[in-house]
A and B are shown apart, each in its own frame.
Chain A
Amino acid sequence: MSENGALPLRGKVLTVDTMNANVKKVDYAVRGPIVQRAVQIEKELKEGVKKPFEEVIKANIGDAHAMGQRPITFFRQVMALCTYPQLLDDNKFPEDAKNRARRILQSCGGNSIGAYTTSQGIDCVRHDVANYIQRRDGGIPSDPDNIYLTTGASDGIVTILKLLTAGEGRTRTGVMISIPQYPLYSASIAELGAVQISYYLNEEKCWSLDISELQRALQAAREHCSPRVLCIINPGNPTGQVQSRQCIEDVIRFAAKENLFLMADEVYQDNVYAEGCEFHSFKKVLFEMGPEYSSKVELASFHSTSKCYMGECGFRGGYMEVINMDPGVKAQLTKLVSVRLCPPVPGQALMDLVVNSPQPGEPSYQTFMKERTAVLSALAEKAKLTEEILNTVPGISCNPVQGAMYSFPRITLPERAINEAKAKDQAPDMFYCMKLLEETGICLVPGSGFGQREGTYHFRMTILPPTEKLKIMLNKLKEFHQKFTQQYS
């Protein structure tokens, strides 16, 4: 403090120089600069600024309800009953909804969803999750004590990565993740100061995974870090591929042999569209491979209420199942999640309904099945439509959208465009996507936000807009691409 008692002339305490250096390295393209520009444009439109389009189409994020998908009636009925239990006297609600609400409320402190729950999540919900997993996996047992409810899948993923991050320099934890990947992984790895070990999916073979590529990436990584984890997203994001059972077995064998903790992000497990494709959970395959693997490989599998046919992103519901976790580490995990008290209870309740949905014979079953089927088949149609239309555009090449909610087509950019982008210090596909946004109002995320092979360019577009709007969007895209190609040739 200066002698005359006045406040010293100083800079701020918290500046880009004094802040957490790792946070500066974090990027999350799904809500990055292009989305910020899209939001700005929306404001300009509202102010009456004239544009070549009337609305911004946010095809950047897997936000199903925002794009018009309806919630499942039964789920919302139960949520309303849990929220305002007086409605249990209301004869407008079906009995099966009321029974589920009562069961959930009974397991809440003071029978209220406003009470904290245990940090691992409501006991009976974890039991229901375990039963769901068991049914899904053909009877392979699931222990409720291995289930942790989470604030969306992202929360569980970050928590496990946090546990795994240790060491320094050459012993620093290395985390294997696909290129392309959902950028939560790269962002978390950057924030935690872990080492990202990229393995390339094979674009020529429908984004499949080659063990030889895993091997290559791992060997290279061993020279500068301590690889400990292998992350895989199946069905894939952004790429949408649904890995074959053989591939999943190979990955498990690889993880076992190379001492890697396996993290299986399976949030799109119900979003499988292509014929011949089927979702196989890592847990199931692991156990079907016998005790040599099932009693050894450390696995964490993640699921969420945000995708599939529910699309309940805003509720932040999710869970993870941990297999073969060291008991001492598990105690540490439980302790770590206790600091944040508990995941949001509405999300826990919602997860309960997802894993404990109406059964044949129950009053809500038919409506439930109808709604579920409608959502999934609409997505399947839109997946096909997208692939077909994009593949008619010279300079756009789109792999089959086998699952998930996105297409990740490859775009050929003229040399002049690439140079102009570089002159602006923009990734070429960002340059392309920005122009697309300014000229058509369509907001996509450039492939550079997910990772791609050097010299290739892509974008990720959701298949979520309603079919009619999607058709319009795809045609505008086609038009834009042709114009862009001409303009920069």
Chain B
Amino acid sequence: MSENCEYRERVLTMDTMNPNVKRVEYAVRGPIVQRAVQIERELMMGIKKPFTEVIKANIGDCHAMGQKPITFFRQVLALCSYPDLLEDSKFPEDAKSRACRILQACGGGSLGAYSTSQGIELIRQDVARYIERRDGGITSHPDNIYLSTGASDAIMTMLKLLVSGEGMSRTGVMISIPQYPLYSAALAELGAVQISYYLDEDNCWSLDISELQRALQEAKKHCSPRALCIINPGNPTGQVQSRQCIEDVIRFAAAENLFLMADEVYQDNVYADGCTFHSFKKVLFEMGPEYSEKVELASFHSTSKCYMGECGFRGGYMEVVNLDPEVKVQLTKLVSVRLCPPVPGQALLDVVVNPPQPDEPSYDTFIKERTDTLATLAEKANMTQDILNQVPGIKCNPVQGAMYTFPRIHLPPKAIPEAKEKGQAPDMFYCMKLLEETGICLVPGSGFGQRDGTYHFRMTILPSKEKLKIVLAKIKEFQQHFMEQYS
């Protein structure tokens, strides 16, 4: 402690801060997006650019790209927020009855009360029933449901519980390459070991058990593998795994003593013919008690994607299956410290799992809106795939589901050394140039992981059809120009 306070170093510096946090990266909102935001400001200030707007195709943010909310959901939430509206004849009866039911389950009849930390019991019951209906009647216990602040919150919580040990006994977590970088970020923050398994790009991003096996054996040499994470439908790759594949993964997890984490937030976003969403829960139970009584599984869902697109509400849940009872007590205790997930998000989730039924007044409008949104996404998925595959140097796997395309780009010989000189990943170099020249913001494949020597970008299929056509045309133009420039 010096006598003269003036020249002391700060307390919290790059050297004294949490080193794990420094290792965290999250490309979806990383440097390219920061540059995009800067460019938007420059445009607003009147600076001339080769384009008039920035198109943010970096993030699965449906409403921001023009998708409309489901009318019924917003009606119920408005009624919950301001119950005086229950007297308003402009709201349909089915919306009012759902709002009343939700409010009755809230302390003091208000969305402003804390809920129990696991989430409003009534809503967990509704979620359990939704899961049962979805999975052909397989029982779901409300007590195994934990509502969460988006799926990210629950995924983080489970990973946190799983992380222990040191050195060779440090928890290893298997996750796909490519992956949604919440996983790599969370593992870095928690100081767990990331065990990457490669999806097969030549086979539509499918999963080979032999590749899981390879990754696992390798990993056993330096850590203690405990968890296997799978995103289905996939992000960024969009593949919808076959039922056979899901069974194989479950068998593998059972044989190798791995806790299974199934990220299923895109479960309604399935577009390709011949593809169907099968929940891990359902397949697990259809495989019989040898598996269904043993495999520890956590499945995650959210209000952010599918046809709802309500990202800002931060609604979500997880279902835990075969969790050790004592660990479950610890889980419940852990989530209690943060009190509860946002109640508007809980209420929204309730209407998602409890939507208008055929005999109800709001049914027709609801189905129409839902169908339109999903059909439009399917069209855009197809269109994206078709157009990109016409571009020399771009190869795009079918967008079977989710909200993204993750095409492979062939970079001409001179581009790569120039990128490296700038200290940039080659696909970051490509995407940055695309941004500066066209205003289109994508995320380089390096942000998600990819095989060495390959390059990709992730682009959402969310802009309106018209705008998407323009974006794809501009990318085509840019690619051709880039190829010429760097050949």
Contacts and interface: CB of A to CB of B under 8 A. Distances in A.
A361 to B, nearest CB: 24
B12 A314 contact: no
Given A80-B78, A298-B10, A10 B342 contact: no
A152 B112 CA distance: 12
A71 B112 contact: yes
A140 interface: no
A314 B114 contact: yes
B374 to A, nearest CB: 16
Contacts of A332: 14, 17, 21-22
B61 interface: yes
Interface string B1-30: 100011010111110111101101110111
A338 interface: yes
A12 B64 contact: no
Nearest to B314: A344
Interface in A384-422: none
B284 to A, nearest CB: 13
Interface string A239-266: 0000000000000000011111100000
A212 interface: no
A26 B333 contact: yes
Contacts of B330: 16, 19, 23-24
Given A115-B64, A344-B345, A315 B312 contact: no
B81 A314 contact: no
B77 A313 contact: no
A433 to B, nearest CB: 17
B444 to A, nearest CB: 16
A64 B111 CA distance: 11
Contacts of B77: 83-84
A155 B338 contact: yes
Contact of B18 (A154, A166, A341, A345): A166
A83 B310 CA distance: 11
A61 B114 contact: yes
A102 interface: no
**Which of A296, A313, A347 is most buried by chain B, counting CB atoms within 10 A of its CB?**
A313
A31 to B, nearest CB: 4
A165 interface: yes
B229 to A, nearest CB: 13
A325 B11 CA distance: 9
B339 A20 contact: no
A66 B312 contact: no
Contacts of A311: 112
B370 interface: no
A109 interface: yes
B322 interface: yes
Interface stretch (B160-168, B352-360, B427-435): B160-168
B344 A344 contact: yes
B18 A165 contact: yes
Given A336-B24, A339-B24, A109 B344 contact: no
Contacts of B128: none
Contacts of B340: 313-314, 316
Nearest to A253: B5
A162 to B, nearest CB: 6
B11 A260 contact: yes
A164 interface: yes
B64 A109 contact: yes
A114 interface: yes
B301 to A, nearest CB: 16
B216 to A, nearest CB: 12
A114 B152 contact: no
Interface in A1-46: 1, 7-8, 10, 12-16, 18-21, 23-24, 26-28, 30-32, 39
Nearest to A325: B12
Interface stretch (B252-260, B415-423, B453-461, B470-478): B252-260
A16 B74 contact: no
22 contacts: A14-B162, A18-B165, A19-B330, A23-B334, A69-B108, A87-B85, A90-B90, A114-B69, A114-B311, A114-B313, A163-B17, A164-B12, A166-B18, A191-B334, A261-B12, A316-B149, A329-B12, A329-B17, A339-B185, A339-B189, A340-B150, A342-B312
Given A108-B312, A151-B338, A344-B344, 20 more contacts: A12-B324, A16-B327, A18-B226, A23-B161, A23-B334, A31-B339, A69-B108, A79-B81, A79-B82, A92-B88, A113-B313, A151-B149, A259-B11, A292-B6, A312-B112, A335-B26, A336-B21, A344-B149, A344-B345, A345-B314
Interface of B: 1, 5-6, 8, 10-14, 16-19, 21-22, 24-26, 28-30, 37, 59, 61-67, 69, 74-75, 77-79, 81-82, 85, 88, 90, 106-108, 110-117, 149-150, 152-153, 156, 160-165, 182, 185-186, 189, 226-227, 254-259, 290-291, 294, 296, 308-314, 322-324, 326-327, 330, 333-334, 336-345
